[in-house]
Structure 1
């Protein structure tokens, strides 16, 4: 069973920052995800649709509507949601 068959899906805007933007080659994309899913399933679904992000899988941070998502909490998406893919930020 695919990710899309588990739960009715919804299209949301996904924003890419820093290394994620470089890997995807654009600043945003409209993607479909199940309406209800776990944080880890959200990350897996994102990588399934954009395999180029696999290198960030262990360190990426996800925000929905400008709020960081708690990895332990279930995620519920709506059509107007905006997901931000934020890779680790290094600096000096």
Structure 2
């Protein structure tokens, strides 16, 4: 299984839970988004927002049922739901 290193950006509550703004992670090059979500939830303590955060790769939103192929240094954004009034 080929692996690539991606850049991960954490926003809002995801940043607070992960205690990181930015990091890198080696992941399988091809996988389903729901598999990627599970990796992130486990590695970065995102359980409380695990089913509701949004993922984007290179500024394009992706849904859990997609099978994606990542490239070296792709940028993955972990975006919790926005709330406010």
TM-score (norm 2): 0.92
Larger relative strand fraction = 2
Match of 2:55 in 1: 62
Q: After TM superposition, give the deviation of residue 80 of structure 1 in Å.
A: 2.1
**CA distance, structure 1, for counterparts of residue 75 and residue 2 of structure 2:** 18
Task: Name segments (4+ residues, structure 1) moved above 4 Å.
Answer: none
Q: Aligned match of 2:15 in 10, 14, 21?
A: 21
TM-score where L is the length of structure 1: 0.86
Q: Deviations over 1:9-58 (max 9, x none)?
A: 111100000000111112101111100000110101112322x1111111
* Alpha-carbon distance in 2 for matches of 1:80, 1:32: 10
Higher helix content, 1 or 2:
1
- Distance in structure 2 (CA, Å) of the matches to 1:90 and 1:42: 24
Question: Counterpart of 2:30?
Answer: 36
CA RMSD of aligned residues (A): 1.0
Question: Aligned partners of 1:55, 1:34: CA distance in 2, in Å?
Answer: 24
Number of matched pairs:
85
